[in-house]
Structure 1
Amino acid sequence: MYYSYSNWLKERYGEKVYKLPVNLPVACPNRCSGQKGCSFCSDQGTGFEAGWEPESVTEQMQHVRQIVEKRYKAHKFIAYFQNYTNTYMPMEQFKAYLTEASCFPDIVEISVSTRPDCIRRDYLQCMADLQERTDIQINIELGLQTANYHTLDRINRGHGLAEYIDAMLAIRQYPFTTCTHLIANLPGDTVRDAVETARIVSVLGTDIVKIHSLYIAKDSRMAEDYCDGHLDICSKEEYFERIRRMLENMAPSIAVERLFSRIPEKDAVFCNWQTSWWKLKDEFEAYMRACNSYQGKYFNYRDGSALKGVF
């Protein structure tokens, strides 16, 4: 049906691997110099999952490891720099955080969450040097959200499609994996936008996607519009149709880490049509089966598709 991220990790590392989320004291260029940030973003950024935030990277990882290890009998871990823009800091500081995370026991990967307009070759080289020295793999998570640059402007994303293309082309010169974050139902986007977004990330060679259903975080500008009745969110049924079409047009080699957002109820005024993400996942998979649908069903648009069967 679709290629799950958990299977991708098992194939890559030989067993289940779990993320240890880390919140670094970083900002976002879209919130600096008088900018207000993305309209869907609250003051917390996306650091909901850490839940405990001392100063030390090691302390954060130790705390989460104790929970994950006890619950899942885990033996291998990913250090996940998750909040805001983790390459938006001085190089020496960034290098120090990477080094600290790499020294943590049983870490097989460091995942760095950032923005397409915060990818630069000296930072990439810093990560490449660490990967070569430690044999710890590097994954770079990029927030694209949508390929519709008109929508990116409307949500005040602070970058367009070109920055994502540039970042992916730069990253592909290094031995890293990439994860692209997408929001399948942003206001103003259509099913066609969802399809084209899936096609673009496939052509550019992302390894993983995180597809999010739009949630409305408290204290965000979208929350103001939503509460005032100026923002419409598509129905659950339309969202299912959008992500089905995305998956059908997505390269079958891309691992799917997420299909629905996860945010604590206390932090949102709307999320997932007031339904738990795992129930939505079960419903969606039943919908995929009923439609005889699967990832890559229409992945036939590369390599001179108009020439196929003609010459």
Structure 2
Amino acid sequence: MEKQYYYAYSKYLKEKYGEKVYKLPVNLPVTCPNRKEGGGCLFCADAGTGFEAKESTMPVLEQLQSSREKVEKRYHAHKFIAYFQNYTNTFLPLPALLQYMEEAAGMENIVEISLSTRPDCIRQDYLEAFQNFRERTGIEVSIELGLQTVNYHTLSAMNRGHGLAEFINAVLLIAPYHFPVCVHMILNLPGDAMEDARESARVLSALPVSMVKLHSLYIPKECALYKEYEAGNIQICSKQEYIERLAEFISLLRKDIVVERLFSRIPEKDSAFSNWGNSWWKLTDEWKALMEERQYVQGIRCDYLNGAALNRWEM
């Protein structure tokens, strides 16, 4: 049996729903307040994150059914998550978002709706409505928050349009409703160092966070960061440095936090830089080798919470 270095998302879903569950992307006609007000994050392309998404003009049910046919045929899955993936879905007016959620709920065997959004686009009236939806339909609602780094200087440099405080506030607002919270992190943003990766793990572990989705930085050809990259104005850490940051992050991460992804996956034609020209599975193998060398598994160094100094000096 292969050694488990982290709590994998596939394992979590199987434990929760009793069988394989696959995400089906949904692209809604929405943008992001940061794109409207501040020009958007430097690493965000015009397509957002939905490089392979359907057109947002396509009805939600049609998008889901199209993706479902491919997934069922290839993976023999029978339960699905409707993943409202692109841009900031809670930037939609609440009635419109609820209508899209109702449409997704109309497809058979949808067990969850996952809403991708920003920390500064979480509000109590939305959360109340999501709770009512869950109670009425029996369909889980999970929330994916893009944070990327806990370094507020880097957040500012990347023009994220929010700081660390907004993220903490969003997580605490969501907590009483018990929606699973997935946090997106990039461990190799320009300006960040190893200690930022370590501190990111510590901060997430100290908060009621359910999952983390890790991305190695990729640079789309149509984004502001691409110009800086081409001009040689930014430095991206080496492949080995990223793998070491990832090992440190996982070793410090609370054991019960689900890890959805370790490396980005983006079509080569859409990116100027991605994964140092390596496949994600090759990078994963190198990371596992380092974890084995250091005798790391998830949470093995998560000893800094709940009165750590008192625990060390307890007689």
TM-score tier, shorter chain, comes to over 0.9
Deviation per CA, 1:178-227: give whole Å up to 9, x if none: 10000000011011011111111111121110010000111111100111
State the partner residue of 1:138. Answer: 141
d(CA) in 2 for partners of 1:285, 1:137:
32
Q: Any stretches of 5+ residues in structure 2 without a counterpart?
A: none
Q: 1:64 and 1:189 mapped to 2: Cα distance?
A: 37
The question of whether the paired residues in 2 share the 8 Å contact of 1:54 and 1:60 is answered with: no
The answer for the alignment partner of 2:80 in structure 1 is 77
Equivalence for 2:264: 261
Cα separation, 2, equivalents of 1:176 and 1:49: 27
Q: 2:208, 2:231 → 1: CA distance?
A: 40
2:10 — aligned with what?
Answer: 6
TM-score normalized by the length of structure 1: 0.98
Match of 1:197, SS state, is helix
Once residues 178 and 208 of structure 2 are traced to their aligned partners in structure 1, the CA distance between those partners, rounded to angstroms, is: 13
TM-score, normalised relative to structure 2: 0.96
Q: What is the aligned partner in structure 2 of residue 302 from structure 1?
A: 305
State the distance in 2 between where 1:114 and 1:77 align.
20
Contact 2:28 2:86 in 1 (8 A): yes
CA–CA separation in structure 2 for the residues paired with 1:53 and 1:37? 19
AA partner of residue 14 (structure 2): K
Tell me what 2:229 maps to.
226
Mapping 1:276-287, distance limit 5 Å: 276-287=279-290
Counterpart code for 2:63 = Q
Structure-2 residue corresponding to 1:155 = 158
Query: Among 244, 249, 255, which residue is 2:247 paired with?
Result: 244
**1:198 maps onto 2:201 in alignment:** yes
- Number of residue pairs matched by the alignment: 310
Cα distance in 1 between the residues matched to 2:170 and 2:156: 19
User: What amino acid is aligned across from residue 14 of structure 1 in structure 2?
Assistant: G
| SS of structure 2 residue aligned to 1:308 | helix
How far apart are residue 53 of structure 1 and its match?
Answer: 4.9
SS of 1:87's equivalent?
helix
Q: Contact 2:213/2:261 (CA < 8 Å) preserved in 1?
A: yes
Unaligned stretches of 5+ residues in structure 1: none
Provide the secondary structure at the position in 2 that maps to 1:48. Answer: coil
RMSD across aligned C-alpha pairs, in angstroms?
1.0
**Residue 268 of structure 1: CA displacement?**
0.4
Indicate the SS of the match to 1:77.
strand
Aligned to 1:217: 220
Q: Is the 8 A contact 2:90 2:117 kept in 1?
A: yes
Tell me by how many angstroms 1:285 deviates. 1.2
Deviations 1:36-68 (A, max 9, x none): 100000101111242555420000000000000
Counterpart of 2:28 (choices 16, 24, 28) is: 24
Q: Which letter maps to 2:36?
A: C
Deviation of residue 280 (structure 1)?
Answer: 1.2
Q: Which residue of 1 aligns with 2:103?
A: 100
Tell me the alpha carbon deviations over residues 228-256 of structure 1, each in whole angstroms, 9 at most, x when there is no partner. 11111111100000010001110010111
Distance in 1 (CA, whole Å) between partners of 2:306 and 2:203 is 14
- 1:101-120 to structure 2, matched below 5 A, reads 101-120=104-123
Taking the aligned partners of 2:36 and 2:54, their CA distance within structure 1 comes to 25
Q: Aligned partners of 1:309, 1:112: CA distance in 2, in Å? A: 41
Equivalent pair of 1:128/1:175 in contact (CA under 8 Å): no
